[in-house]
Amino acid sequence: MGLIAEFWRMLFGDGRNVVTETMSAFRENPEWAARREAAIRQAALGQFAAEFGLPRRGLFDRFIDGLNRLPRPMLAFGTLGLFVVAMADPIWFAARMQGIALIPEPLWWLMGAIVSFYFGARHQAKGQEFQRSIAETVARAGQVTDNIRALEALETGAGLIGDGPEPAPAPNAALSEWRSKDGA
């Protein structure tokens, strides 16, 4: 009997499990893998949140952002205005277009490069802002899931303390005797 007990103590004693430790050399423990994966995801989400965190913006930054929003509407409304002027005063419009025809081709290339860089930079900034918002949404997904589960539990009545039919109280002999003495 002592030999068998010593054998089991050798395998499972001292807070160790030799069988599990040996098997983990050949096959990954799914529970440990899930824990590592969860830790990696938490670290990645923390890094995303730190990287895409929005700093507080001052008055100057907001003013410059407002100026950066002007060129696109001005270009769009200016082009529509040219159509209106072409119909309202064709002679005036033709004179202005003759002036534009005198602009040398390298200057057109320069203007095209400037406009392309402006809209390209704006596209990149908006893309990064979109990525930041996605990272924030993903970071809140676990909390939202927990809130939904809690709301479903409230809706079904499960999980609320004191919900459901209460069991009938057991008769209390001492209380019954006291009530009969008080009422008599």
* Predicted local confidence at residue 124, as pLDDT: 80
- Which position has the higher pLDDT, 115 or 89? 89
DSSP 103: S
Report how far apart, in Å, the C-alpha atoms of 172 and of each of 3, 114, 168, 169, 175 are: 57, 90, 12, 8, 5
- The DSSP annotation for 63-95 comes to HHHHHHTSHHHHHHHHHHHHHHHHHH-HHHHHH
Q: Is the dihedral angle over the CA atoms 86, 89, 94, 96 positive or is it negative? A: negative
The mean pLDDT of the chain is: 81
Question: Taking the model in full, what pTM does it have?
Answer: 0.35
Instruction: Describe the crossing of helices 30-51 and 105-156 by its angle, rounded to 10 degrees.
Output: 130
How far, in Å, CA of 124 to CA of 69, rounded?
A: 14
> Domain coordinates of the chain in residue numbers?
1-51
Residue 44 and residue 36 in contact, taking contact as beta carbons nearer than 8 Å: no
In whole angstroms, give the CA distance from residue 132 to residue 51: 8
Contact by Cβ (8 Å): 43, 35: no
User: What average pLDDT does range 4-33 have in this prediction?
Assistant: 73
Cα–Cα–Cα angle for 113, 115, 119, nearest 5°? Answer: 115
Assign 161 a pLDDT band (cuts: 50, 70, 90). Answer: low
Report whether 114 contacts 120 (CB < 8 A).
no
Report the distance separating Cα 44 and Cα 175, nearest Å.
62
Tokens of 103: 């602009």
Model confidence at 160: pLDDT above 60: no
163, 157 contact by CB (below 8 A): yes
80 — pLDDT class (breaks 50, 70, 90)? very high
Average pLDDT rounded to a whole number, residues 148-160: 76
% of the chain residues with pLDDT over 90: 15
- CA-CA distance, 117 to 159, in Å (whole number)? 58
What pLDDT digit, counting tens, does each position of 52-67 carry?
666 677 889 888 888 8
Q: How many CA atoms lie within 13 A of 43 on its CB side?
A: 6
